[in-house]
A = this chain, B = another copy of it.
């Protein structure tokens, strides 16, 4: 079973779900996690992920695939889960998160297919080739109050997070993108809540778009997001490095790696997003 929410944490309060019937959960999506007036995809996914952790016999997301259908809005949501297969070490389930239109009908926001396991039961063997991103310490990085504040004018998400961006990948904020398509920064929650497997689903989607470093501005809505959670993160701040390498045909992919304070690569993700319309391109 999933862990009980950490009392008082914004993340746990706003991703909380209550069981309405077997496999059916209710949530109340908070307006506090929006970016440019749309609820952050990782926040919505984490909420659906919490329901799946309660519905399935294994507690932790291992690999989560989400197809985003319509933008989520603050307000009530219903999450209907289905158990696809239960096994000894992993189980697979599906979740459909819907919200209510003005006429009371349900509109599906995201469909999730996920395999859960027990991160505590993984072997200790770690032969990771990848290396953590080199970044200055947090005090030398840019917080949301350090740079231009007009970039994300109507975004409440920034108030929930403590993100410090590496100056080397922040040129875009003053009109000087590097053209490499990479961003990286320190990631924490503003109220100090430690990371856990569920908050990793948020962390992979919580930095500014990597496309900003290509000189592309404007919204890049996520079409699909797959997250692999590879280890229970240690306490303390995370380092998130994102990169896009294939902006083409009106779409782009964005890869994210999340490293914990013990230098473990705790999560990897890739999303497919729509590129802004041509008139938005710098």
A85 cross-chain contacts in B, Cβ below 8 A: 69-70, 108
Query: Which residues of B sit under 8 angstroms from A62, Cβ to Cβ?
Result: 223, 251, 272
Report if A92-B67 is in contact (Cβ < 8 Å); known contacts: A123-B278, A246-B230.
Answer: yes
Let me know if A63 is at the binding interface, CB within 8 A.
yes
Q: A111 contacts B94, CB within 8 Å?
A: yes
Chain B residues lying within 8 Å of A272, measured Cβ to Cβ, are: 62-63, 228
> A224 with B130: in contact, given A125-B249, A125-B250, A249-B230 (CB under 8 Å)?
no
CB of A164 within 8 Å of the partner chain:
no
Set of chain B residues within 8 Å of A214, measured between Cβ atoms:
127, 129
Contact A84 B111, beta carbon cutoff 8 Å? yes
Counting CB contacts under 8 A, is A1 at the interface?
Answer: no
**Beta-carbon contact of B245 and A129 below 8 Å:** yes
Partner of A226, one of B65, B130, B245: B65
A195 interface residue, CB < 8 Å from B?
no
B226 pairs with A253, CB closer than 8 A: no
Whether B129 pairs with A250 at a CB distance below 8 angstroms is no
Taking the nearest CB of chain B, how far is it from the CB of A163, in angstroms? Answer: 23
Is A90 an interface position by the 8 A CB rule? yes
Q: How far is the CA of A108 from the CA of B92 in the complex (A)?
A: 11
User: Which B residues lie within 8 Å of A128 (CB)?
Assistant: 245-248
A55 to chain B, nearest CB (A): 15
Partner of A90, one of B122, B223, B268: B223
Name the residue of chain B whose CB is nearest to the CB of A214. Answer: B127
CA distance A113 to B84 in the complex (A): 13
- 4 A-B pairs closest in CB distance: A65-B65, A122-B249, A130-B245, A63-B224
